[in-house]
Structure 1
Amino acid sequence: MEAEPDRLTHAALFEGFFIAGLSGFGGVLPFARRIMVDRRHWLTDAEFADLFSLCQFLPGPNIVNLSAAFGARHRGITGALAAMAGLLAAPITIVITLGLLFARFGKNPLVHHGIEGLTAAASGLILATALKIAGPALRIPTGLAMVVLAFVLFAILHLALPLVIAIALPISLLLAARRVK
């Protein structure tokens, strides 16, 4: 029996998310997007942005939700487990190892300076990925308007996220309905 061409194997799901988890320890999203969109072409930019947006509404870490949702789409519950196991295997091992090393060498000033440098690099990766994910929305005038609205409500007016969602969701649905007509 031939496998369905659009269904990834458990091994492919595990491997793809393992590489993302290993490459992006502490900031997996940029690497997961690069693997899923740019390298393996599992999703388009817009599909990735849609799936990631959905996963942001679910409880728990967004990237774990993304791996579970994507894995489930291809192989059901076992695909979700394979993708999540791949994503988490390396970081869990790294965290345990780093914890042991920090207990031993944590008082060294060089260690603290190194961590500060990693913080700056991670911030740059997050910003670059945010711009890539926002790309599809920014190309549509109504999408750009929603990005600006959400930014103003959250970053400038300091409204709580549930309130931002309560305000932005009906406006977004109205604008999307008008676009479809």
Structure 2
Amino acid sequence: MPSRRALFAGFFSIGMAGFGGVLPLAHYMLVQQRRWLSDAEFTELLSLGQLLPGPNIVNMSVVIGSRFHGAQGAVIAFTGLLLAPFCIGMLLVSLYAQYRSLPALQAVLHGLAPAATGLIFAVGLRLLGGLERRWWCWLLALLTFVGIGLLHLPLLPLLLLLLPLAVWLARHLPRKDD
């Protein structure tokens, strides 16, 4: 059983590795390097983490910390995991507040905006591939795009309007393969 200090240090090292996508590192640290869990236990806890609301690794840190040191261990593991990203985020916010008017920083941010837009567009295209090949699915996707992207309508009211229409169309229009 790891000590409280080792528990904090282990999850702190995972948190230092990145803000997201740290699951492979967590597996390496928890299963292979420190041997706190077996592969089966890791998979079981990951499944549990996926069922609970919130990020998987955060849920796993709470469960693993609790397993070794009860409620105190859950707090220690959770704090270890999130301390570094929180501090880095706060540092970036304070640096931005102080230097946001610098032309160099503005140039960097203006350069990042198209890259972020491109990533979002690429994900959207990937999701389009999974869209059902029925005319009304494409129509609803187009209506959503026009409503949000072009008319700047609020997301929630638009979805509350289109959702009943989508459910009605799905129930009442025949499928080609039926």
TM-score bucket of the superposed structures, by smaller chain: 0.5 to 0.7
**Which residue number in structure 2 is paired with residue 169 of structure 1?**
none
Structure 2 residue 62 is matched with structure 1 residue 68: yes
CA contact (8 A) 1:24 1:30 kept: no
**Which residue number in structure 1 is paired with residue 44 of structure 2?**
50
3-state SS, counterpart of residue 37 of structure 2:
coil
Q: CA deviation at 1:34?
A: 1.8
- 1:25-174 correspondence to structure 2 within 5 Å: 25-103=19-97, 104-105=99-100, 106-109=105-108, 112-113=111-112, 116=115, 156=130
Structure 2 residue 24 is matched with structure 1 residue 24: no
3-state SS, counterpart of residue 69 of structure 2:
helix
Q: For residues 48 and 111 of structure 2, what CA distance do their matches in structure 1 show?
A: 36
- The alignment covers a number of residue pairs equal to 117
Q: CA deviation at 1:75?
A: 0.7
Which structure would you say has the larger RCO, counting Cα contacts within 8 Å and 6 or more residues apart?
Answer: 1
CA contact (8 A) 1:21 1:86 kept: yes
Give the unaligned 5+ runs of structure 2.
120-128, 133-178
Summarize the Cα distance change of 1:85–1:108 in structure 2 as closer, same or farther, 3 Å threshold. same
* Structure of larger gyration radius: 2
- After TM superposition, the score normalised by the length of structure 1 is 0.55
Q: CA deviation at 1:44?
A: 2.3
Q: CA deviation at 1:107?
A: 1.5
Summarize the Cα distance change of 1:49–1:113 in structure 2 as closer, same or farther, 3 Å threshold. same
Q: For residues 61 and 35 of structure 2, what CA distance do their matches in structure 1 show?
A: 15
Q: For residues 22 and 90 of structure 1, what CA distance do their matches in structure 2 show?
A: 6
Q: For residues 114 and 5 of structure 2, what CA distance do their matches in structure 1 show?
A: 34
RMSD: 3.0
Identity %: 46
Deviations 1:69-90 (A, max 9, x none): 0010111000101100100110
2:83 corresponds to which letter in structure 1? A
- After TM superposition, the score normalised by the length of structure 2 is 0.56
